[in-house]
Amino acid sequence: MHPYLEISPEVQKALDNNQAIVALESTLVAHGMPYPKNIETAQKLENIVRENGAIPATIAIINGRLKVGLNKDELQLLGTSKEVLKVSRRDIPMVIAKKLNGSTTVASTMIIASIAGIKVFATGGIGGVHRGAQKSFDVSADLMELANTRVAVVCAGCKSVLDIGLTLEYLETHGVAIVGYKTKNFPAFFTRKSGFKVDFSMESIQELATTFQAKLDLKLKGGMIIANPIPKEFEMPYEIIQEAIDDAIEESEERGLIGKEVTPFLLKRIDELTEGTSLYSNQKLVYNNALVAAQLAVELKSLK
């Protein structure tokens, strides 16, 4: 199909039969959660997608090949090896040429999904404009990708390690559709509210599908964000998570971290500072995103 792509038999069959498919990212496996919870989470995500009528396609780069759908060994490698690079748009060509292993971020997962013809993607949270970006210039490449690539991304908003207000301004400027699913609030990953509202809120999967289909039919550039808040019962107390985030940011500044190391460091420190309770919430919210993404992928197929 494409010289750089390697599609698993299960995903290839789904593509051939025009079945619903959900892309899943691998940076949350390699750099977002500790072993063995990361592998457990990745497998559970795939199962949730299957139970809801779609086929999961976890995306990563193995030995320089763009993989769409991973086998057990590949997932194990991503979850345990210390040599897995975090790959965003910028890094893809070098990782191919050097035949390296890489986990894909939201940006690079969108790119590879889109090459494979997959339209729906579930993740935990998107990257965004970091606090203090007016000095550091740290704006995640995820936002540029959302502005350019036609994939619907189901997420629990973004963490307040970011400047959520500036992230939303950026997305507005670049014409990225954002819909709150059963909420009027833009969620902040561990919490259902961020202090920011979404302009549009939808109660049904059918309406989400119609929205994204309109974007596709009009050939409007860019993706769509389905902001799906963490279920109430798994939400974290605001003060506890906020304190951990503030402390983690302070430490990352003290260490002088820059570039792609910032986000993985913050995720790891937040997990340590909350003694693993944030990891539990993290797992639950990604599961909920996989569920909604599977329903959306199925609905998109039935529209046509």
Enumerate the active-site residues.
Answer: 25, 159
Nearest Cα to Cα of residue 245 among 131, 140, 156, 145? 131
Q: Which residues bind Mn ion (CB under 5 A)?
A: 138
Q: Is 125 in the site for ligand PSU (CB under 6 A)?
A: yes
Q: Could you tell me the smallest distance in angstroms from the CB atom of residue 269 to Mn ion? A: 16
194 binds, among ligand PSU, Mn ion, none (CB under 5 to 8 A by kind): none
Position of tokens 């993607």?
Answer: 121
- With contacts defined by CB under 6 A, name the span among 93-101, 124-132, 174-182, 214-222 that binds ligand PSU: 124-132
Q: How far apart are CA 56 and CA 97, in angstroms?
A: 27
Distance CA 127, CA 142 (A): 6
Rounded CA gap, 26 and 42, in Å?
8
Please, which of residues 168-207 interact with ligand PSU by CB under 6 A? 189
28 binds ligand PSU (CB under 6 A): yes
CB of 185 to Mn ion, least distance (A): 25
Angstrom distance (rounded) from CA 46 to CA 60 = 14
Q: Determine, following the binding rule CB under 6 A, whether residue 267 of this chain makes contact with ligand PSU.
A: yes
Taking the C-alpha atoms of residue 163 and residue 286, their distance in angstroms, rounded to an integer, is 21
Nearest to 168 by CA among 128, 214, 222: 128
Buried-state track 152-176, b at ≥16 Cβ within 10 A, e below 16: bbbbbbbbbbbbbebbbebbeeeeb
**Looking at beta carbons only, is 88 or 295 nearer to Mn ion?**
88
Distance (Å, whole) CA 25 – CA 128 = 16
32 contact choice in Mn ion, ligand PSU, none (CB below 5 to 8 Å, kind-dependent):
ligand PSU
198 CB contacts (<8 Å, ≥6 apart)? 178, 179, 180, 183, 184, 185, 186, 227
Nearer to Mn ion (CB atom), residue 55 or residue 158: 158
**Residue 189 binds which one of Mn ion, ligand PSU, none, with CB within 5 to 8 A depending on kind?**
ligand PSU
Pairing mode, strands 55-62 and 65-68: antiparallel
Closest CB to ligand PSU among residues 271, 299: 271
Q: Quick one: which segment of 136-144, 212-220, 223-231, 290-298 binds ligand PSU (CB under 6 A)?
A: 136-144
Interface characters, 137-156, with ligand PSU (x: CB under 6 A): ---xxx--------------
Tokens 């763009």, residue located: 66
Q: Does residue number 229 form part of the binding site for ligand PSU (CB under 6 A)?
A: no
| Closer to ligand PSU by Cβ: residue 96 or 133 | 133
Q: Minimum distance between the CB of residue 155 and ligand PSU, rounded to whole angstroms?
A: 9
Least Cβ distance, residue 264 to ligand PSU (angstroms): 7
CB within 8 Å of 205: residues ≥ 6 apart:
292, 295, 296, 299
State which residue, 141 or 240, has the beta carbon closest to ligand PSU.
Answer: 141
Total of chain residues touching ligand PSU, rule CB under 6 A: 18
Site of interaction with ligand PSU (CB under 6 A): 25, 27-28, 32, 88, 105-106, 124-125, 127, 140-142, 159, 189, 260, 263, 267
